[in-house]
Amino acid sequence: MLSSRMPPQTHDQHNEHDQDPDFLARLGTSGEMSENYSPIPEGYQQGRTKFVVVLGTVMSGLGKGIFSSSLAKLLKDKGLTVAPIKLEGYLNIDSGTLNPYRHGEVFVLEDGLETDMDLGTYERILDQNLNRKNFLTAGQIYTEILERERRGDYLGRDVQMIPHVTGEVKRKLRELALTGNQGKQCDVVFVEVGGTAGDYENGFYIEALRELAFEEGPDSTCFVALTYIIEPSILGEQKSKAAQLGIKRLLEAGIQPSIIACRAKDPVTNQVMEKIGMFSNVPMNRIFSMHDRESIYTIPDAMRAARLDGQILSILDMHERVDPTHEDRARGEWKQFTQQLLATRRHKINIAITGKYAALRDAYASIDKALEHCATQLSADINAHWIDTTSIETSADADKALAGMHGIIVPGGFGLRGVEGKILCVEHARTNRLPYLGICLGFQVAVIEYARNVMGLPGAHSTEFEPDCAGAIIAELPEQKKLEGILGGTMRLGAQDVVLREGSLARHLYNGQASVRERFRHRYEVEPGYIDRLADAGLHFSGRHPDYPIMQVLELESTQHPYFVGAQFHPELTSRPLTPNPLFMGLVAAAIRTAEPEASLDDLPAQWKPNHSGDTANGHEFAQSPG
């Protein structure tokens, strides 16, 4: 690579850059422009933060996010501060426009960034809210570089993949490291690289990470290769050749793995692990069998049993940072959860999830996990029925599809396809007193159904689906967007406050909290002119925006329905293994009562037992929440 001299500058121009650390990093002592470009953010201490990098080989979709988050949990349990980041190779700025059939659900972070479903895995396993610094795409990187180039920030240099693109990646990782606990630089950054070694689109990430490990110095970086062990049925044995060749691609890129995780259906044999260790220079005690397990939540314990956490600490020279008391407490809490998770369930219920992406469960991954969290807490064996609403055209279709169900969820979504089927499912739930939870669009279609069939407004609809409808009961409200000043583009995204009405079921489910913070992803609202009319007809809005007439939770009284709740937000996004979301807990508890009306519910947590004290929440016979 040829060096280039700094372009002529005036005195003022030179002074402008004197305090610019990026400029100083690029300028050599002889006045020549340095070939290196590795920005160090102000306040960053090299050597303080360690990096664990998880890379894929052979094929994608093997669970790099699950492995990385599980490993991060082990170190967080030890009292270390951890920060995960997902590096995506696609050119999209975020995941908001990606088709669920291609990329699974869109997971919305606290600050409103739309990301892929792996960020949900990190939040759930780490019990940690993430933000836009935890998700990086090639589109973000290139956009920032081009904006810098247009401003002249590169001082006339030709902008190249190396060092400028790789330098921006290193800058982002170091900036993330600074977002530690209580203003301190975090202990470990976990980096997951999307795709597999050898992909064109992630090659610059892999090169940037090689450079980072070199610059940060010895004991700074642990590379983990997640590979795949094939087991052709025609052979009846595990074969390691594909894994060896995949790891070879990393070695060719200058990456020496410290740990190898072997993804497989069955436990990986010692013979296969010996072969992989021999060809990758990794000892056997650092090769982990990541075979199929009953639940992903058991993987942290399996890693701990294999002493992977100790290996990581040794590789990164971090044993002295461990807090044993913190670790004992965290391990005890997680152990209690996994014991409940694997225990025999006392209740059996059927829950219908009615949407247009029912053929792909990844499109509703967070709903699936939220139900799993509740099932563990309430000892329920939940049989989830994924129902495609595009095939439901009549009430008879809905009755047939929902026969035998004990609860119904209508999830969020965009577009007209399947909407009328969702409305028919809402009608079935309401008229048959079947526990119901509507999420986002499920909230909106509940309002439409009630307006049509209870208030006698057959033309009620949403302007999203019928712009010129006579009864625009759901509409996009530009005057509210102007007032609120918190909407990103035309979408309302991220965490917002929800004020809960005193005496409502919603407030009771949230343990008496007057206000809660949940995450939104929508454009359309209940038309304010219909709010009082709906309430007078019996549809109560028990959650609303703190300042404006934006309705966010609806419910029916128990005289009308045992459990009928809708949320304009996405409660599934904030559900965690140890703290399930209250709206899902209420649905599952109500479904248990529907399935087993004569059964004793003494084993349920206090707030989900039938109330014998006479206290009610909006007429619902729930016991008072503990505490």
pLDDT category of residue 491 using cuts at 50, 70 and 90? confident
pLDDT category of residue 607 using cuts at 50, 70 and 90? low
Quick one: pLDDT at residue 614?
Answer: 36
Q: Which residues are catalytic?
A: 440, 570, 572
Mean pLDDT in the chain?
Answer: 87
Evaluate whether 276 touches 240 at the Cβ level (below 8 Å). yes
pLDDT category of residue 558 using cuts at 50, 70 and 90? confident
Lowest mean pLDDT across 72-81, 247-256, 292-301, 617-626: 617-626
Q: Is the pLDDT of residue 13 over 80?
A: no
Quick one: pLDDT at residue 60?
Answer: 87
Quick one: pLDDT at residue 356?
Answer: 77
**How does pLDDT run across 114-132, given as a tens digit for each residue?**
999 999 999 999 999 999 9
How many Å apart are CA 445 and CA 453, to the nearest integer? Answer: 12
**How does pLDDT run across 141-166, given as a tens digit for each residue?**
999 999 999 999 888 888 999 999 99
Task: Give Cα separations from 206 to 135, 210, 250, 552 (angstroms).
Answer: 16, 6, 9, 44
Quick one: pLDDT at residue 482?
Answer: 54
pLDDT category of residue 622 using cuts at 50, 70 and 90? very low
Quick one: pLDDT at residue 24?
Answer: 43
Q: Which residues does 29 contact at the CB level (< 8 Å), separation at least 6?
A: none
Lowest mean pLDDT across 58-72, 476-490, 593-607: 476-490
Quick one: pLDDT at residue 8?
Answer: 36
Give the DSSP per-residue string, 71-112. HHHHHHHTT--EEEEEEE-SS-SSSTT--HHHH-PPEEPTT-
Rounded to a whole number, what is the distance in angstroms from the first to the last CA of the chain?
67
Quick one: pLDDT at residue 608?
Answer: 52
Q: Is the pLDDT of residue 492 over 90?
A: no
Lowest mean pLDDT across 1-15, 238-252, 261-275, 503-517: 1-15
Nearest 10 degrees: Cα torsion 275, 278, 279, 285: 90
Q: Is the pLDDT of residue 366 over 90?
A: yes
Q: Is the pLDDT of residue 601 over 70?
A: no
How many Å apart are CA 107 and CA 95, to the nearest integer? Answer: 8
Neighbours of 163 (CB within 10 A): 21
How many Å apart are CA 423 and CA 602, to the nearest integer? Answer: 35
**How does pLDDT run across 258-268, given as a tens digit for each residue?**
999 999 999 99
**How does pLDDT run across 560-577, given as a tens digit for each residue?**
899 999 999 999 999 999
**How does pLDDT run across 342-358, given as a tens digit for each residue?**
999 999 999 999 987 76
Per-residue pLDDT averaged across 595-621, rounded? 56
Domain spans of the chain, in order of start = 50-336, 347-475+525-600
Q: Is the pLDDT of residue 230 over 70?
A: yes
Per-residue pLDDT averaged across 592-602, rounded? 79
Q: Is the pLDDT of residue 12 over 80?
A: no
Question: Are both 50-336 and 347-475+525-600 of the same fold?
Answer: yes
For residue 257, give the amino acid letter: P
Lowest mean pLDDT across 34-43, 73-82, 165-174: 34-43
Q: Is the pLDDT of residue 71 over 50?
A: yes
Quick one: pLDDT at residue 97?
Answer: 81
Can you give the length of the chain in residues?
A: 627
Per-residue pLDDT averaged across 615-624, rounded? 47
Quick one: pLDDT at residue 469?
Answer: 85
Per-residue pLDDT averaged across 425-442, rounded? 96
Fold designation for 50-336: Rossmann fold (3.40.50)
Lowest mean pLDDT across 14-18, 399-403, 527-531: 14-18
CB-count burial class (<10 Å; 0-12, 13-18, 19+) for 42? exposed
pLDDT category of residue 432 using cuts at 50, 70 and 90? very high
% of the chain with per-residue pLDDT over 90 = 72
The pTM for the full model equals 0.88
Chain center to CA of 152: 37
Q: Element (H or E) spanning 49, and its range?
A: none
Quick one: pLDDT at residue 22?
Answer: 54
Fold designation for 347-475+525-600: Rossmann fold (3.40.50)
Quick one: pLDDT at residue 9?
Answer: 36
How many Å apart are CA 103 and CA 114, to the nearest integer? Answer: 12
pLDDT category of residue 50 using cuts at 50, 70 and 90? very high
Q: Is the pLDDT of residue 180 over 60?
A: yes
Chain center to CA of 376: 20
